[in-house]
Amino acid sequence: MKFSVSSSELLKHLQVASGAIASSPVLPILDDFLFTIKKNKLTIAATDLETSITNEIEVMSDGDGTVAVPAKILLDTLKALPDQPVTMAIDEENFGITITSAYGKYRLAGENGQDFPRIPEADQVDTVKVPSATLSKAITKTLFATSNDELRPAMTGVYVSLDFNKLIFVSTDAHKLVRYTFTNVPSEVSTTFIIPKKALNLLKNALPEEGGVTMSFDKANAFFTFGNTHLVCRLIDARYPDYNAVIPVDNPNTLTISRTDLLNSLKRIAIYANKTTNQVILDISPDSLTVSAQDLDFSNEANEQLSCTYEGTPITIGFNAKFMIEMLNVLQSDEVKLELSTPSRAGILLPMEETEGEEILMLVMPVMLSN
């Protein structure tokens, strides 16, 4: 069995699938790609048993079959070759693989494709179609706020709530929270599930700029299909915290300011903040905003004054500069609004301009000020 294909096209498809391969796989065969050839079509699969990616590429083949191919050596070989036709011949008795290029031959040992773990298939699933650009935006705006605490598995993923024509993405690490909502999603489904961080990272990197994505899901897995690419991930089986309960609704103090002015000021002031707390202090009055920080251990301090619009009583509140910078980086509006109540309650960060059908809310917990 053998097939011929463009080296650059094969490399492009392999790089998409390679994201699913774990750095320390639990089984040796999980270091491989699964190649399945059928009627001049090569299906490439990779998995870590939690997340799987498959995609398809047209080839010229002289038969059908399957083989597991070592991923690293194949990727390294194709990266070192300029674009050209390559032929891969597979010995169906010992699964040895010979790659032939214009420069010569390269031999590597494959494995029996029948030993490769089975990729889950969609069966009796609910389905919704989402624009690729919208899904990519939802992932970008929420993924950064997920937790790394494996003791709270629910918070290590993104919570997705599908309520008929409304799709909500939520992420939190207990210090910050993001809720991203978009409407006009044609669906007859109402459900919730939690998607792992790794799967969403892979999905974001693989999504096309245009077109649609078919999202399907059952109780155990989520399936994403776009073009010739299919991503399957096991859902996180845990209960997500009641995020609505922590979003303050009575916030009488409202600061409106240029997003880039506040972002750049925080980047400068954070250099002088304590490296453990990253605390910056916002001293807000009707006329101006003072951003300051100090690191008593090294006698470092800095402050800046920014022009703003403010409605409410003067307030002094501390935040983690790293969290504020992360949030402001993913917002895109020229101006942002920071809603506050007291120095001990969460602040709400909102864009002043939003795309029709979309809504984003960011919450950040304060850092308690010392006397």
Strand-pair partners of 143? none
Q: How distant, in Å, are the alpha carbons of 167, 181, 360 from that of 356? A: 14, 11, 11
Contact 343, 316 (CB under 8 A): yes
Which residues on neighbouring strands pair with residue 99, listed in sequence order? 88, 106
The pLDDT of residue 214 is 94
- Residue 91, SS3 per DSSP: coil
Domain(s) labelled CATH 3.10.150.10 in the chain stretch across 2-115, 126-244, 248-364
Tens-digit pLDDT profile for residues 328-370 = 999 999 999 999 999 999 999 999 998 888 999 999 999 988 6
Rounded to whole angstroms, how far apart are CA atoms 114 and 270?
55
- Of 319, 177, 311, the residue nearest 247 (C-alpha): 177
| Residue whose tokens read 């929420």 | 142
Alpha carbon distance 320, 325 (integer Å): 9
In angstroms, the CA 299 to CA 238 distance is 45
Q: What is the pLDDT of residue 371?
A: 55
pTM above 0.85, yes or no: yes
Distance (Å) of CA 181 to CA 157, 170, 174, 193, 249: 17, 9, 20, 15, 17
> What is the tens place of the pLDDT at every residue in 281-300?
999 998 889 999 999 889 99
Nearest C-alpha neighbor of 241 from the set 199, 179, 319, 333: 179
Looking at domain 248-364, what is its CATH homologous superfamily? Answer: DNA Polymerase III, subunit A, domain 2 (3.10.150.10)
| Of residues 316, 303, 302, 320, the one with CA closest to residue 367 | 320
Check: CB of residue 291 under 8 Å from CB of residue 282.
yes
pLDDT for 185: 82
Two structure tokens written together for 241 = 């915290």
Residue 186 has what pLDDT?
79
**H-helix or E-strand spanning residue 76:** helix 71-79
So what's the pLDDT on residue 279?
A: 96
CATH homologous superfamily of 126-244: DNA Polymerase III, subunit A, domain 2 (3.10.150.10)
Instruction: Tell me how far apart the alpha carbons of residues 247 and 363 are, in angstroms, rounded to a whole number.
Output: 7
Q: Which tokens in the block code for residue 211?
A: 């077109």
Residue 28 phi/psi, 5-degree rounding, is -55, -35
Share of the chain above pLDDT 90, in %: 88
**Using CA atoms, how far apart are residues 276 and 295, in angstroms rounded to an integer?**
10
**Hey, which CATH number is domain 2-115, 3.30.70.920, 3.10.150.10, 1.10.1740.10, 3.30.559.30?**
3.10.150.10
